[in-house]
């Protein structure tokens, strides 16, 4: 299964992606996590991305595409994946379609997490990440258990920290960037028939259930990926063109035959030009005017 999760920052994509990993046994590919890892390791890319991320802006498309191309080629992603945070621009979405086409593995669904603005702000301000196991919690809606049973071995408590880009000023910019650059991508997927929307407010299990419901609904429909649809269209056009050419040829053949056989001309003309015949028939069917009595 190849799924894309979309939604504003704080819509809960990451948390639900982690739940789908357990459910389907396929990896979550979070481009934000990949960039943060680079930043932590101090790689060239990490250093470049650091300033951009701190301002709430987007890393350039070419870099993001290189990251995705590498990641989906890994052995653990061969059975499928959950994309979280990619694509974020129209260019990224189109490049992903092409990549999936090249690999012969179309996307199955794109799910939009729909959350109101007030709830988004509340969630982002409460979001905390564990520096040991990388799990994401929310001090308002999904606090970690204490003692922690799901952290790294030997740790009984999560070490929570707030991401720099979750601070208020950066959050406002990230929401603006989402509206300007990412939201338009939704109509691209909606046009392709891949987009499903989940109301992402409520308890975590409720949202997970809604997510599983939309993913299992009508499983054949999402297989009609953008790549497959694009392939089919020209075929239909070619078939329609052949039909039209065939029809024109047959009309011409009938008219020619009528010329060769003068006796049959009238009948052949009738067959070759059915519209004319129809008009004639109509005229013939008109009531005959009564002659005036005064004459
Ligand atoms: P996230 O954890 O998904 O909210 O991503 C954190 C930050 O990483 C974003 O605000 C961007 O600066 C950067 N980032 C993540 N994914 C992408 C992407 N697909 N395109 C561009 N920048 C991205």
pLDDT tens for 74-115 read 999 999 999 999 999 999 999 999 999 999 999 999 999 999
Residue 7: the pLDDT is: 96
Instruction: Name the residue with higher pLDDT: 16 or 279.
Output: 16
Answer whether 52 contacts ligand 1 (Cβ < 6 A): yes
* 3-state DSSP assignment of residue 201: coil
Q: Is 88 a catalytic residue?
A: yes
Which residue of 13, 88, 135 sits with most ligand 1 atoms within 8 Å of its CB, as the best mutation to test the pocket?
88
The predicted structure's pLDDT at residue 217: 79
Q: What is the mean pLDDT of residues 170-185?
A: 92
Structural contact between residues 194 and 107, judged by C-beta atoms closer than 8 angstroms = yes
Q: What pLDDT shows up at residue 76?
A: 95
35 lines ligand 1 (CB under 6 A): yes
Q: Is the pLDDT of residue 256 over 50?
A: yes
Question: For residue 221, what is the DSSP state?
Answer: G
Q: Which residues of 176-186 are buried (b: 16+ CB within 10 A; e: fewer)?
A: ebbeebbeebb
Listed residue (107, 78, 74, 101) closest to 185, CA to CA? 107
**Strand 81-84 and strand 28-30: pairing?**
parallel
* Residue whose CA lies nearest to ligand 1 atom number 14: 32
| Strand ranges (E), the chain | 2-6, 28-30, 81-84, 109-114, 127-130, 136-138, 160-161, 195-199
3-state secondary structure of 101: helix
Q: Which of 123, 149, 147 is nearest to 137 (CA)?
A: 123
Q: Is the confidence at residue 255, as pLDDT, over 50?
A: yes
Measure the CA–CA gap between 30 and 7, rounded to whole angstroms: 13
Q: Is 86 in the pocket of ligand 1 (CB under 6 A)?
A: yes
Structure tokens at 5: 């999760």
Residue in 123, 128, 174, 210 annotated catalytic: 174
Mean pLDDT, the chain, rounded, equals 81
pTM of the predicted model as reported, rounded to 2 decimal places: 0.69
Residue 24: count of CB within 10 angstroms of its CB = 16
pLDDT score of 292 more than 50: no
Pick from 20, 7, 9, 10: nearest CA to 81: 20
Q: What are 43-76's pLDDT values in tens digits?
A: 999 999 999 998 899 999 999 999 999 999 999 9
End-to-end CA distance of the chain: 88
Q: List the 195-199 sheet strands across, edge first.
A: 28-30, 81-84, 2-6, 109-114, 195-199
CA–CA dist 92, 89 (Å, integer): 5
Ligand 1 atom having least distance to the Cα of 86 = 19
Q: What is the pLDDT of residue 119?
A: 87
Q: What pLDDT shows up at residue 106?
A: 94
SS3 label, residue 241: helix
Predicted local distance difference test score (pLDDT) of residue 243: 58
| Greatest mean pLDDT among 209-218, 226-235, 243-252 | 209-218
Which one has a higher pLDDT value, 272 or 153? 153
Q: How confident is the model at residue 230 (pLDDT cuts 50, 70, 90)?
A: very low
- 164 vs 89, residue with greater confidence: 89
Both tokens assigned to 34 = 């990949």
H helices present in 25-60, as ranges? 31-41, 44-54
How many whole angstroms separate alpha carbon 261 and alpha carbon 272? 14
Q: How far does the centroid of ligand 1 lie from the alpha carbon of residue 53, in Å?
A: 7
pLDDT at 251: 57
Q: What share of the chain is helix, strand, coil (3-state, %, to 5)?
A: 60, 10, 30
pLDDT tens-digit series, residues 146-163: 899 889 998 999 999 998
Asked whether the beta carbons of 168 and 10 are under 8 A apart, the reply is no
Asked if residue 234 has pLDDT above 50, the reply is no
Long-range contacts of 262-268 (CB under 8 A, 24+ apart): none
Between 273 and 20, the more confident residue is 20
By percentage, how much of the chain surpasses pLDDT 90? 55
Nearest of 150, 116, 112 to residue 130 by alpha carbon: 150
Indicate which residue's Cα is closest to atom 5 of ligand 1: 32
Decide if pLDDT at 12 tops 60.
yes
- Among residues 127, 128, 135, 210, which one is catalytic? 127
Q: What is the Cα–Cα distance from 99 to 77, expressed in whole angstroms?
A: 14
Predicted confidence band of residue 121 (pLDDT cuts 50, 70, 90):
confident
């Amino acid at each position: 299964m190849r799924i894309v999760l979309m939604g504003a920052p704080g819509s809960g994509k990451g948390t639900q992606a982690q739940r789908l990993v357990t459910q389907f046994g396929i990896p979550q590919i979070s481009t934000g996590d990949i960039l943060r890892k680079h930043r932590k390791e101090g790689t060239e890319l990490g250093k470049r991305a650091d300033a951009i991320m701190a301002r709430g802006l987007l890393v350039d498309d070419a870099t993001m595409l290189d990251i995705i191309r590498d990641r989906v080629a890994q052995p653990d992603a061969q059975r499928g994946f959950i994309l979280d945070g990619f694509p974020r621009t129209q260019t990224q979405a189109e490049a992903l379609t092409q990549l999936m086409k090249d690999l012969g593995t179309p996307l199955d669904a794109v799910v939009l997490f729909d959350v109101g603005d007030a709830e988004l702000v509340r969630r982002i301000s409460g979001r905390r990440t564990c520096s040991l196991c990388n799990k994401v919690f929310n001090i308002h809606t999904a606090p970690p258990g204490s003692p922690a049973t799901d952290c790294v071995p030997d740790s009984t408590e999560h070490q929570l920290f707030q991401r720099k880009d979750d601070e208020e000023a950066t959050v406002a910019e990230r929401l603006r960037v989402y509206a300007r650059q990412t939201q338009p991508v939704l109509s691209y997927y909606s046009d392709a028939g891949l987009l499903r929307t989940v109301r992402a407010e409520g308890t975590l299990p409720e949202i997970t259930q809604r997510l599983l419901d939309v993913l299992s609904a009508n499983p054949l429909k999402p297989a009609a990926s953008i790549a497959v649809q694009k392939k089919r269209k020209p075929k239909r056009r070619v078939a329609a063109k052949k039909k039209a050419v065939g029809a024109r040829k047959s009309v011409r053949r009938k008219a020619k035959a009528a010329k060769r056989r003068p006796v049959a001309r009238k009948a052949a003309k009738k067959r070759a030009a059915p519209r004319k015949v129809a008009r004639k028939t109509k005229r013939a069917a008109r009531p005959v005017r009564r002659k005036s009595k005064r004459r």
